[in-house]
Amino acid sequence: MMLRALFVMMLCCVLPFPVFATELPTPDHGPVLRIQGSNTIGAALGPALVKGLMEAQGLREIHSEISGKDNEQRVVGNTEQGRRVLVEVAAHGSSTGFTALKAQNADLAASSRPIKDSELVDLEALGDLKSPAAEQVIAIDGLAIILHPQNPLNRLNTEQLARIFSGEVKTWEELGGAGGSIHLYARDDQSGTYDTFKELVLSRRGKTLDSTAKRFESSEQLSDAVSQDPQGIGFIGLPYVRQAKAVAIVDGDSQPMLPRRSLIATEDYPLSRRLFFYLPPNGQNPWADALVAFAQSSQGQAIVAANGFIAQTVQAMTVTPSAQMPDDYQAITREGQRLTVNFRFEEGSASLDNKARQDLSRVLDYLKLHDKLNKQVTLVGFGDAKSDPARAALLSKLRAMAVRRELVKSGVVFREIRGFGAEMPVATNSADEGRIKNRRVEVWVY
């Protein structure tokens, strides 16, 4: 229990991953860790993080082995004494991870969506899986919508995407373009990229992928096919845009957003989502604790980036002011730089969500490193649309004050706290998911 508490403390502080004073246990038989769940995580990212942890433990000859079952693999390493260390990774979908936890067939669940309320209740014997130590955001995922480079369209909204890929919209003319029939390109059913698109675009609108879509196992081949087809459209992970043209995406009343890494890091971009590890609080597996801690470390986040996902490392970015921004917000953009993190809140609450709690440490580390603790930080709050604009403005400032209260404890002296109400939404307010994204706090530094 003392070792587990140490790992959790390391995790909450988001410290660089250290060399362990005590090696993790390596039993004579069976796996040291069993991971089940999301294909998005389990196909490559999860095994890569496991290999990173094994390297930090000083294991040798680290490699993956195919288990003989689809979407399952073993990550194997050897100790100096020649003892074989085995981690099993099964990637059959997020829901299977929670099912495996209940059946005690997994020590850690990988999920490309938050745990459902029904799953939370079903697994309450394992402890509170929504607690900060249990629910761990390990990466941010984002998709690009790509067209032929000469397609004149520069933006599409999420409703249009659902109608295009379900086959309801069949020609470019229906979208205000030209070129005749739309040719659909999609990843195959085993792809985490497809899982992401299905979740963010199709399933939320009760639609399914049209059967005429050409399916690809290879991201590179899909992208190249779209770039050579003037009538083509596809979706792809960020590293694979290649020669195709990425379009800006609109969700509800949001501004058009290109799939820039900075906008995915802040989760403003409509086709972004969180990737999770769920660690049962009542579990007793030190390898599970260690992998979660490693995933949150600087080394782990470097592996996240190397695998094409968006790491949670905080950086400053310059924002170009535009006429669509309130005048006071434009003034902030001219003087300051925005950090690549948004603080968000639990549903129906003024409490920071679990990612935001971890981001507090990341932001504080950035401010200390760049000597910006004294009156060089402005917090800017936003909310979802309400019938009373004054109430929305007040709530947005109160959200910023909630972040201020936490950072003040660590010695941050703020330049200004601002609230912009329901202005500048990043998502539609017609759905709960959109309203939650719109309730956010930005961090600006000078």
Residue type, 166: S
What CATH class does 142-263 carry?
Answer: alpha beta
**35 Cβ contact partners less than 8 Å away, ≥ 6 residues apart:** 42, 46, 50, 87, 88, 89, 90, 97, 106, 107, 108, 109, 110, 291
Measured CA to CA, the distance from residue 262 to residue 340 in angstroms comes to 6
Distances in whole angstroms, Cα of residue 345 to Cα of each of 1, 340, 349, 355: 30, 17, 7, 9
Ranges of CATH 3.30.1330.60 domains, the chain = 314-445
Residue type, 89: V
Angle formed at CA 116 by CA 135 and CA 271, multiple of 5 degrees: 80
Is the domain 314-445 a CATH 3.40.50.970 member? no
SS3 of 140, please? strand
pLDDT in tens, the chain (446 residues): 334 444 444 444 444 444 444 689 998 889 999 999 998 899 899 999 999 999 999 999 999 998 888 889 999 999 999 999 999 999 998 999 999 999 999 999 999 889 999 999 999 999 999 999 999 999 998 999 999 999 999 999 999 999 999 999 999 999 998 889 999 999 988 777 888 899 889 998 999 999 999 999 888 999 999 999 999 999 998 888 999 999 999 998 899 999 999 999 999 999 999 999 999 999 889 999 999 999 999 999 999 999 989 999 999 999 999 999 999 999 999 999 999 999 999 876 778 999 999 999 999 999 999 999 999 999 999 988 766 778 888 889 999 999 999 999 999 999 999 999 999 999 887 777 788 889 999 999 99
Ranges of CATH 3.40.190.10 domains, the chain = 2-134+279-306, 142-263
| Residue 225 pLDDT | 98
- 216, HSE (Cβ side, Cα atoms, 13 Å): 17
For the chain, the maximum distance between any two Cα atoms, rounded to a whole number of angstroms, is: 68
Query: Selecting from 3.40.50.720, 3.40.1440.10, 3.40.190.10, 3.30.420.40, what CATH number does the domain 2-134+279-306 have?
Result: 3.40.190.10
Q: Would you give the DSSP letter of residue 317?
A: E
Put the strands of the sheet holding 316-317 in their side by side order: 316-317, 337-344, 440-445, 377-382, 416-419
Measured CA to CA, the distance from residue 236 to residue 421 in angstroms comes to 34
Tell me which H or E stretch contains 118: helix 117-122
- 209, HSE (Cβ side, Cα atoms, 13 Å): 21
